Every structure is written in structure tokens, then in C-alpha cells.
């Protein structure tokens, strides 16, 4: 099935929710208004629809392969990646000084979504490179920046994140890879890293590994971890590529999904030590790696939205062509296409509402990121940084969990044919599962939301968001249309339940941590549900105003219908989630361990 980029919905979210024209008032973004956004999105859509999307199924059927230490990607990937780099897409959001285009995240996020909808496995390579670029921009020395950044930004080289080891998954205190200082200021790195996305491949001249390791004598735990650049090929003083470094791919994983993306086991230092270069200061590696992880977590949230959109489009196409059974209302006297059936419509509306709600939430977060990093007013930067930091676990956690529900519904719409690989619906379901796991599981996102984003400031940011939601409710009620009143009422109920949960989290985090953290994932899901619903409430206000101006009646009516469905079918889950969080902690922990 072909993929069609939802440019119109992306631009709607960008214009009316993210307020792209306000972003364009920030110094450096003056040329990045709505007109530029539309031109960029339409051009990126051509590459995604015409070049990258057709490789999605072939990559699943004939994934990357390893032979004699060399990884060969799926036929067509190398050429597509060359076109991606030559088009300037890797550098879209990165500084002009290093060969990038310097566009805001508000525009870049939409391009990330469409690339991932086109081909999740392919898009993982640029995603990891973006993270490496962010880390070097923040903590790299002038020499490291001069050596590596331009090649990464232009897509000539790619980047990786090397955190995980066989004994060290989410608990990075257990990292054992070691780095030994050398007389010339470099280090020799020894160890094994697993789950390294695009750790070895044939799409770029060089691969720049960012590796967590311990220097001899470093403190125990996470305080003793440093970050190193370890290139696959060493770089000569004149910038040309030199000899092979002592880092090798010893195997690639055989996975449930994202099969075309080579997930490597990398061995460092089997032949005397891999040469690495310290990023920033010793023992601050985890701090720097979090820069990469935050960038990657947002991007993984976009992956969730992306795969949900692709599954939705696939399901709609099937529902419009599959003939099965007479409609219950008698509107067709013979068997009809299944889109006539109410439960199929319920599933399609659920898929659509989740996807549009999360897209709206992510667009709003992207605009906050742009203001937090580039606005000239320090107070505006500070406020937007706090808002964006609160939003990251929601974009990552909620959007990826919803993608599992949406892709599962996509299989269900296909019925028995959805279980057959040839229809393609199952691939989205298989691909989506990893999104709730890598770059920090949903539970890790939820623990972050509870501890760092809610408990640490006594719920201040959470309640500030609740106050903004109350403002949207007031605007909806003032407009007095039937849809607006329904959405306002459901938003109010959800917001009140949210505030109750925030009070519980703040009050009980220290007194009864097991009870609070037993409800951490439900709290994340509740909050994501509310914030996405809030953005759809804002969409109602925008769509109603545009309808009065006679703009695109069908599109605006669809926005209203989708928001009302979300309010009546998804926002209504919040009250039950709140009950389980506030009152259900004890039962979660009641069964003794030996009873399991």
C-alpha cells in the first residue's frame, strides 16, 4: 500500500497549535514561517513517498545481513540514504556553521514523522546521527567539532549511541567498558556493547560511535562514566579517512520488527585497543549522553506517531475495499465494504484520534523546544525549557504506547487477513513494539515524570499545565457550539482527575514510594491522554474559527469530529486511571514475591 504524507494536518498543527509564525519571530528563524514550512514539508514528502516508502516491505522481507564482519543493508537503502544526505535532510535542524539548514524543530519534527512513516528501519540511522550531533554540539571540544560535525550534519558519516552491555541495560551504573589514557591525549577503549543501532552498515563512509566507558580510578556507579568518540575509521589530520579502528561488529540481532535496521554487537579493543577521544570532561559522560537520549526520546515518540499514521492509512484503504456482511442499518441491501460497519468505524476513529492527538502534542512540544533554545528573553527560555522537559516523557511514552494500540487495531480491521504477512498490517504491529522499549522503557519515562518532572518541583509545572487547560475549557465553553461544550466537559473531568493524581504523587512520593511508582505508568498514560486531548481542544477552537471564514469545510469538520470522538471515547478513560493510581498501589504490591 502506498503512503501519503498528511501534510495538511501537519501544517494545521504547526500553524494553529505550535504557532509557527511566533517561532519565526525568534532571531535566526525569521525565514522559517508557514510558507517555508509548507515548501519544506512538500519537498520532504516527495522523497519519503517516492524513494523511502517503497523500501519498507523489502527491508522487512530481506533485512540487513552480516558476512565476515561486513553488514550489507537491504537493496536500495544505500542509494536512498545518499539521496537523503544530498538533499540536506540530515542537517535540517542543525547549525548552518556545520553545513546544516538551521531550521526550527517545529518544522524538523514533521519531517522526522514522515520519514519514519515511510520506513521506520531506514529512519533509525539519521535518528541516531541527530543524537550524536547534539552531544558533540553541547560537549565536544573545538577539535572534535571540527573533525566530525560537518561530516555528520551533511550525512556523509553516521553516528551511534553505545550505552548497553550484556549486564548493563537500563542500569548504566553496571557499565564495564574501560578507557585507558594515552600519552597523546587519546584513550584506548576495551569492551562489548550490544543493541547498537546501525553499529555497522554500508550506507556511509564512516561511523562515529559515541561510547560510554570508565577511566581507571573513576568513581563507582554512574558518577564514574565518561563519554568517548570512537570512529570506525580513524581520521587523519587533513580530514581524510585513515586506517580501521579496533572496533568490529561480531553479530547482528534477529528481531521481531525493524528488521532492516542492523542492530549490532560491537567489540572494542580485541587487537590492542580502539582509539577514542574524550567528550567534555571525565566522569560526566552520563550527563552528556542524556543530551543524546533526550533528543532520541522525542524522536522515538515521533516514530510512534509515524507508524500509527501508516497503520491507519493501511487500515482505511482495506476497509474501503473489503466487502463483508450487510450493514446493520440496512443502508445497503447486500454485502458492503466493511467501512459501513459501526465497530470498524470505531476502530478507525480510535486510530485517527490517537494519531492526531499525539501529533498535536508533539508539535506543541517542538515549538517549546525552539523557544527554550533560541528565544532572546531568558524568562521565556526558562519557562519553555521546563514545559518541554515535562513533555518529553509524554511524547515518548504515551505516543509509543498508543502506537501499539493503533497498530493492533490496524491488524484487527483486516480481520484474519491482518494475521497474514502479505497484507502488510502485521509489520507495523511488529515494528511498533520496540518503541516502548528502546531509549528508555515506558516505565523509565514514567519514573522520570514522577520523580524529576512532578515530585521535584512539588507539582508546579503539572499544575501550570492544568491551569492552561482550564483556560482552553473556558474558551470552548464561551464558543458554545455543541462540539466545543462536549470537549470542554470531558477536558474538565480529566483535568480534575489529573490534579488529584498530582497531589497524590507529591504527597506520597517519599512516604509511600511503592504505591506512587506502582501507578507511574498509569500516571504517564493519564497525563499523555489529557495533554493530547487538550491540544485537540485547541484544534476545535481553530477549526471553528476557520469554518466561519469558509476555509476547507470538509477538513475542518473532520477535525471537529475527531476531537469529539477523542473526548468521548479516550479522555473518558482518565477518571478510571486516576482511581487505580490513587487507590490501587497497595494491591499491586500485596502478593508476596514467592507467590509469583
Pairing of strands 206-215, 187-197: unpaired
Q: How many other C-beta atoms lie within 10 A of the C-beta of residue 126? A: 24
Is there a catalytic annotation at residue 134? no
The Cα 414–Cα 146 span in angstroms is 52
Type and span of the H or E element at 312: helix 285-319
Closest CA to 175 of 286, 299, 279: 286
Straight-line distance from the first to the last Cα atom of the chain, in angstroms, rounded to the nearest whole number:
45
Specify the 3-state DSSP secondary structure of 228. Answer: strand
User: Among the options 356, 439, 496, 568, which is catalytic?
Assistant: 439
The Cα 515–Cα 509 span in angstroms is 8
Helix (H) and strand (E) counts in the chain = 22, 12
The Cα 64–Cα 201 span in angstroms is 8
Residues 6+ apart with CB under 8 A from 266: 162, 192, 193, 194, 196, 199, 200, 209, 247, 248, 249, 250
Residue position matching grid coordinates 482505511: 316
Closest CA to 193 of 232, 167, 222: 167
Interaxial angle between packed helices 120-139 and 77-86, expressed in degrees from 0 to 180 and rounded to the nearest 10 = 40
- Residue 310 has φ and ψ, to the nearest 5°, of -65, -40
Torsion sign over Cα 250, 256, 262, 266: negative
DSSP assignment of 329-353: T-SSSS--BGGGSHHHHHHHHHHHH
Strands (E) in 314-443, as ranges, are: none
**Is residue 310 within 8 Å of 285, Cβ to Cβ?**
no
The Cα 440–Cα 489 span in angstroms is 34
Chain-centroid distance, C-alpha 505: 26
Q: Quick one: cell of 337?
A: 465494504
The Cα 95–Cα 85 span in angstroms is 15
CA torsion 83→84→88→90, rounded to 10°? Answer: -150
Strands (E) in 446-554, as ranges, are: none
**Is residue 501 within 8 Å of 518, Cβ to Cβ?**
no
The Cα 583–Cα 574 span in angstroms is 14
- Residue 439's region, left for phi above 0, alpha for psi from -120 to 50, else beta, is left
Residues serving a catalytic function are 439
Amino acid at each position: 500500500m502506498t503512503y501519503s504524507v498528511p501534510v495538511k494536518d501537519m501544517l494545521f498543527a504547526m500553524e494553529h497549535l505550535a504557532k509557527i509564525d511566533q517561532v519565526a519571530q525568534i532571531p535566526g528563524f525569521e525565514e522559517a514561517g508557514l510558507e517555508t514550512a509548507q515548501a519544506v514539508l512538500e519537498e520532504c514528502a516527495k522523497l519519503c513517498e517516492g524513494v523511502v516508502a517503497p523500501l519498507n516491505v523489502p527491508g522487512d522481507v530481506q533485512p540487513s545481513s552480516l558476512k565476515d564482519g561486513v553488514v550489507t543493508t537491504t537493496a536500495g537503502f544505500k542509494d536512498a540514504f545518499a539521496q537523503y544526505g544530498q538533499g540536506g535532510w540530515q542537517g535540517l535542524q542543525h547549525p548552518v556553521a556545520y553545513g546544516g539548514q538551521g531550521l526550527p524543530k517545529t518544522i524538523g519534527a514533521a519531517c522526522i514523522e514522515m520519514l519514519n512513516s515511510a520506513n521506520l528501519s531506514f529512519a533509525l540511522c539519521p535518528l541516531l546521527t541527530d543524537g550524536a550531533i547534539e552531544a558533540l554540539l553541547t560537549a565536544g571540544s573545538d577539535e572534535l567539532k571540527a573533525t566530525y560535525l560537518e561530516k555528520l550534519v551533511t550525512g556523509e558519516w553516521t553516528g551511534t549511541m553505545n550505552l548497553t552491555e550484556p549486564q548493563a541495560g537500563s542500569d548504566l551504573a553496571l557499565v564495564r567498558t574501560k578507557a585507558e589514557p594515552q600519552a597523546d591525549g587519546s584513550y584506548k577503549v576495551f569492551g562489548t556493547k550490544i543493541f547498537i543501532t546501525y553499529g555497522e552498515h554500508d550506507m556511509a563512509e564512516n561511523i562515529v560511535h559515541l561510547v560510554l566507558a570508565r577511566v581507571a580510578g573513576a568513581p563507582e556507579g554512574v558518577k564514574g562514566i565518561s563519554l568517548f568518540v570512537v570512529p570506525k575509521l580513524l581520521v587523519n589530520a587533513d580530514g581524510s579517512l585513515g586506517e580501521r579502528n579496533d572496533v568490529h561488529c561480531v553479530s547482528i540481532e534477529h528481531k521481531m520488527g525493524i528488521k532492516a535496521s542492523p542492530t549490532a554487537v560491537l567489540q572494542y579493543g580485541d587487537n590492542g585497543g580502539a582509539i577514542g577521544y574524550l567528550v567534555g570532561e571525565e566522569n560526566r559522560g552520563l550527563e552528556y549522553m542524556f543530551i543524546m537520549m533526550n533528543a532520541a526520546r522525542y524522536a522515538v515518540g515521533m516514530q510512534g506517531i509515524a507508524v500509527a499514521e501508516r497503520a491507519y492509512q493501511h487500515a482505511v484503504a482495506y476497509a474501503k475495499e473489503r466487502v463483508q456482511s450487510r450493514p446493520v442499518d440496512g443502508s445497503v441491501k447486500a454485502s458492503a465494504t466493511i467501512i459501513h460497519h459501526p465497530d470498524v468505524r470505531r476502530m478507525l476513529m480510535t486510530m485517527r484520534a490517537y494519531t492526531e492527538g499525539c501529533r498535536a502534542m508533539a508539535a506543541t512540544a517542538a515549538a517549546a523546544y525552539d523557544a527554550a533554545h533560541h528565544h532572546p528573553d531568558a524568562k521565556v527560555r526558562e519557562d519553555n525549557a521546563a514545559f518541554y522537559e515535562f513533555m518529553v516523557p509524554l511524547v515518548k511514552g504515551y505516543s509509543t504506547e498508543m502506537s501499539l494500540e493503533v497498530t493492533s487495531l490496524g491488524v484487527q480491521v483486516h480481520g484474519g487477513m491482518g494475521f497474514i504477512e502479505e497484507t502488510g498490517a502485521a509489520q507495523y504491529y511488529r515494528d511498533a513494539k520496540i518503541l516502548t522499549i528502546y531509549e528508555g522503557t515506558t516505565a523509565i519515562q514514567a519514573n522520570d515524570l514522577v520523580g524529576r518532572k512532578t515530585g521535584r518541583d512539588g507539582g508546579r509545572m503539572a499544575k501550570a499545565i492544568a491551569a492552561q487547560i482550564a483556560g482552553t475549557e473556558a474558551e470552548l465553553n464561551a464558543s458554545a457550539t455543541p462540539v466545543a461544550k462536549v470537549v470542554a466537559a470531558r477536558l474538565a473531568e480529566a483535568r480534575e482527575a489529573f490534579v488529584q493524581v498530582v497531589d497524590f504523587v507529591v504527597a506520597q512520593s517519599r512516604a509511600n514510594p511503592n504505591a506512587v511508582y506502582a501507578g507511574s505508568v498509569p500516571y504517564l498514560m493519564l497525563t499523555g491522554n489529557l495533554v493530547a486531548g487538550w491540544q485537540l481542544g485547541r484544534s476545535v477552537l481553530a477549526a471553528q474559527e476557520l469554518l466561519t471564514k469558509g476555509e476547507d469545510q470538509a477538513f475542518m469538520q473532520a477535525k471537529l469530529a475527531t476531537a469529539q470522538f477523542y473526548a468521548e471515547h479516550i479522555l473518558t478513560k482518565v477518571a478510571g486511571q486516576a482511581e487505580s493510581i490513587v487507590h490501587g498501589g497497595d494491591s499491586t504490591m500485596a502478593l508476596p514475591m514467592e507467590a509469583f
